[in-house]
Structure 1
Amino acid sequence: MKRGFVFRYLRVFFVFSFLAFLIQGCQKKESHRHKADVIIYGGTSAAVIAAVEATHSGKSVIMVSPDIHLGGLSSGGLGWTDTGRKETIGGLARNFYHRIYEHYQKDAAWKWMKKEEFGNRGQGAPAIDGQERTMWIFEPHVAESVFEELITENNITVFRDEFLDRENGVRKLEGKIVSITTLSGKTFEGKMFIDATYEGDLMATSGVSYHVGREGNDVYGETWNGIQTGVYHHRHHFNVLDEPIDPYRIPDDPASGLLPRISPDPPGKKGEGDHRVQAYCFRVCMTDHPENRRPFPKPEGYDSIQYELLVRIFDSGWREWFDKFDAIPNRKTDTNNHGPFSSDNIGMNYEYPEADYERRKAIIKEHEIYQKGLYWFVANDSRVPQEIRNRMQQWGLAKDEFTDNGNWPHQLYVREARRMIGEFVMTENELMKRTPTPESVGMGSYTIDSHNVQRYVDEEGHVQNEGDIGVELPEPYEIAYGSLVPKKEECSNLLVPVCVSASHIAYGSIRMEPVFMILGQSAAAAACLSIDEKTAVQDVSYEKLRELLIEKGQVLTINDLMGKK
């Protein structure tokens, strides 16, 4: 009798235990599934602004960010904003720069200098515009705090450090994305999806067409695309020197081999396309304030031979090393590339756009070691001219920036990676006003710009850089809605405001942080309108979208711009 009772008890116990296990498993599975009207993949400035717009439009939104820190380059060191014509920047983007302005109106914001000592120098616009109540030059941590304020104020749900499963992480049904899954196993279901990353991983994994590298000029009837040998628009080439530079380890001895960071490959034929992308770097925040300065660290893996080419440049008499130590508040800089050999790590990023995550980490680390080593070299190596070395030792990393990353920027400047081939492709012809732009959702105004793409040995046996382009625009230009959306047959509920549909050389102007914010807002507004209209993003009523964007303060055409004067 007792034994029968025990058996019955055990049977009931095992049944209930099994049911509890199933329920727990279902609950665990459910905890890994998340739903919202709009799913935004990315942590860039465009991603944050898109999330804010979706919330303002009354839609639920989730940000799925590979990044821990939000804001991309805008909070990652690029505080010397590439504004172009600031009048073109409206909507939530302008609100961001207004919030920056409000921060620096407080006395407490000026810890390491007095406000009146700043000088108010900006790029194409005064740093502080009191009339418009905007500020265009700022410290990285201030930008990040503004992005975090926007997230908090709008109660936006953010999942950080979540990387898309690029093998099996996109589920599509009848031409629509149904859900995306990250490497941690979390799944995000939505009606609309926005890829706001610099790399375009969601776009690519969704089967959308894209391009990497430079198109030939013949593809879109352009002039400044493709290989640009013999073109020297800025001072980032070797023709600025008083004498040519020998590329070999032992001068005049090709058998000795090339110095590091010079490609042995021929540059290619002018105007033809290639696989190469413009150089990346970190926009490093430096300071010369003794109390806030951390001496440049000597990186593990440092190798002084990597900078031998710079020694020869200095030996030629070149002294422009400090020309892009652009001043931001509190005696800090946004330090950018300048000269024939600088922070741009030319030729070392070609794999990055298509590389897997581990390979990308390795490329980012190589860029970090190169650039840290470069600064340590200039400050300490006896082959650097004494006056340069002494002055460089007055600078260092800002102790109060990037405090969880050794005061080094958390974001590599991915100037260009994948670019979508969408419903409409922006080219230099639209930017130069040779051809009209349909259905504008924002404006750009920055110079057509590309950094160097390769460093090679020219026909005379000297080292040369190639790919640096700077072409002035006749006036600000419109950006087509069709450049934000894929071809309809490829995906009907995805928008791409960062890896937009543009040729290499057109993207060189579009790729500015204020423009990414503008396009992030427009993309989110279109996504919400698409939900309301129950239509594909390609079929959204442009008239309704245009009316909505103007109501939200976006500047869409040259006529709108003239109306703001």
Structure 2
Amino acid sequence: MFRSLQRFLVAAAIGWSVTAGSFVQSADRAATYDVVIYGGTSAGIAAAVQTVRQGKTVVVIEPSGHLGGLTTSGLGWTDTGNKAAIGGIAREFYQAVKRHYDQPSAWKYESADDYDRYRPADDAMWTFEPHVAAAIFERWLADAKVPVVLNQRLDRGDGITIHDGRIQSIRTESGQTFRGLMFIDATYEGDLMALAGVTYTVGRESNIKYNEQLNGVQKDQNVHNHRFLKPVDPYVRPGDSTSGVLPGIQTDGPGEDGAGDHRVQAYCYRMCMSNVPENRVPFEKPDGYDQQRYELLLRNFEAGDLRVPLSPGMLP
């Protein structure tokens, strides 16, 4: 990708989806595995590789047709913080990324010398194209001979058998059953965890709950970031409070500092975008598009805040 990026990017890069290929090993439907992993995310793949290293049998069941989760879906700009703290299989991944970009053939649209996040002396590299992550995961799974089953979603009605407090097997919506001695829920949604009756918390916990200081609402500690800089009318019909509020607005306020709440983190898209014409596909208007869901953004522009809600990080 060129290092110069146009102000308004209008197309997404192609080619980062992972589909069934030679790396997918057949699963033994009659087997009882030492470990059954539900979710082919980065965490699920790492858990599978480590299980094999420990001499145990394992199967990975992915509800979609895509492996690698966010890592192979656009999130190639890693928020690393202190890189020295990253070890284990995670660091092995970033070391594999570095080895890939050590090859001159890896640089299609620019040279390694032109990309400031490629440092020849480093043992690891922290930014990458999703297809590179996909290739690494595919190679890991193939080398470890991990059985991978795609497009098998857990039956969330009664697709689980539990005996003496332990999961014995799970069943997918297609009727396939997978048995194991241990189960790992490596999905983002936690459906297996919930179906197994594991307790969980939604939202922020209060400081009081565990005698902590950095939990809960932090509105008074973060007054400069992620805020509206201009007054924006929140009502469906501007100035008319009886018309209700726009999508994305809640009327009960964030709560007091340190208090718990019921909210979850906002969702966003991690997209690979390019100004290379042959590496783009068009953004198309999706079915069910509702302009009202973006009215708040338009009003923020009209109020004079012209910041674009796009934070591009350059990939190789």
TM-score normalised per structure 2: 0.83
Residues 1:53 and 2:50 aligned together: yes
Superposition map of 1:324-335 within 5 A: 324-329=311-316
| Within-5 A mapping of 1:126-141 | 128-141=118-131
The 1-side partners of 2:127 and 2:204 are apart by: 31
Partner of 1:63: 60
Mapped to 1, the partners of 2:286 and 2:221 lie a distance apart of 35
The question of 1:143 aligning with 2:140 is answered: no
Report whether the alignment pairs 1:317 with 2:307. no
Question: 1:62·1:158 contact (CA, 8 Å) conserved in 2?
Answer: yes
Pick closer, same or farther for the CA change 1:163–1:233 going to 2, 3 Å. Answer: farther
Secondary structure class of the residue paired with 2:313: strand
Other-structure match for 2:201 = 211
1:72 Cα deviation after fit: 0.9
- What amino acid sits opposite 2:82 in the alignment? R
Counterpart of 1:179 in 2: which secondary structure? strand
- 2:76 pairs with 1:86: no
Q: Secondary structure at the match of 1:178?
A: strand
What code does the residue aligned with 1:177 have?
Answer: I
For 1:213 and 1:255, locate their aligned partners in 2 and report how far apart those are by CA, in whole Å. Answer: 29
Shift of 1:325: 0.9
Unmatched tracts of structure 2, length 5 or more: 1-27
Q: Does 1:113 align with 2:110?
A: yes
Contact kept, 8 Å, 2:102 with 2:120, in 1: the verdict is no
State the secondary structure of the residue aligned to 1:218: coil
Query: Paired residue for 1:540?
Result: none
1:312-352 Cα deviation digits (max 9, x unpaired): 322333333276111111xxxxxxxxxxxxxxxxxxxxxxx
Q: Distance in 2 between matches of 1:269 and 1:54?
A: 44
Within 2, Cα distance between the matches of 1:185 and 1:116? Answer: 53
Give the corresponding residue for 2:16. Answer: none
Misfit runs of 4+, over 6 Å:
none
Structure possessing the higher relative contact order (Cα contacts under 8 Å, 6 or more residues apart): 2
Query: For residues 287 and 60 of structure 1, do their structure 2 counterparts lie closer, same or farther at Cα, with a shift above 3 Å needed?
Result: same
How many angstroms apart in 1 are the aligned matches of 2:171 and 2:291?
A: 44
Find the structure with the greater CA-based Rg.
1
Give the unaligned 5+ runs of structure 1.
1-30, 121-127, 330-565
Identify if the C-alpha distance between structure 1 residues 95 and 247 changes in structure 2 by more than 3 Å, giving closer, same or farther.
same
2:214 aligns with: 224
Asked if 1:201 corresponds to 2:191, the answer is yes
**How far off is 1:215 after superposition?**
1.8
SS of residue in 2 equivalent to 1:204? helix
State the partner residue of 1:96: 93
Name the Cα RMSD after superposition. Answer: 2.2
Q: Deviations over 1:459-517 (max 9, x none)?
A: xxxxxxxxxxxxxxxxxxxxxxxxxxxxxxxxxxxxxxxxxxxxxxxxxxxxxxxxxxx
Per-residue deviation at 1:173? Answer: 2.0
Q: How does 1:171-190 map to 2 (within 5 A)?
A: 171-190=161-180
Whether the 8 Å CA contact 1:32–1:185 is kept in 2: the answer is no
Q: Kindly provide the amino acid, as one letter, of the partner of residue 292 in structure 1.
A: N
Deviation at 1:230? 4.0
Question: Aligned-pair distance for 1:157?
Answer: 0.5
What letter corresponds to residue 315 of structure 2 in structure 1?
I
Q: Which moved more, 1:40-49 or 1:282-291?
A: 282-291
| Partner in structure 2 of residue 77 of structure 1 | 74
Q: In the aligned structure 1, how far is the partner of 2:200 from the partner of 2:209?
A: 14
Please state how far the C-alpha of 1:233 moved relative to its aligned partner.
5.2
Q: Which has the higher helix share?
A: 1
Q: CA deviation at 1:60?
A: 1.3
Q: Displacement, 1:214?
A: 1.9
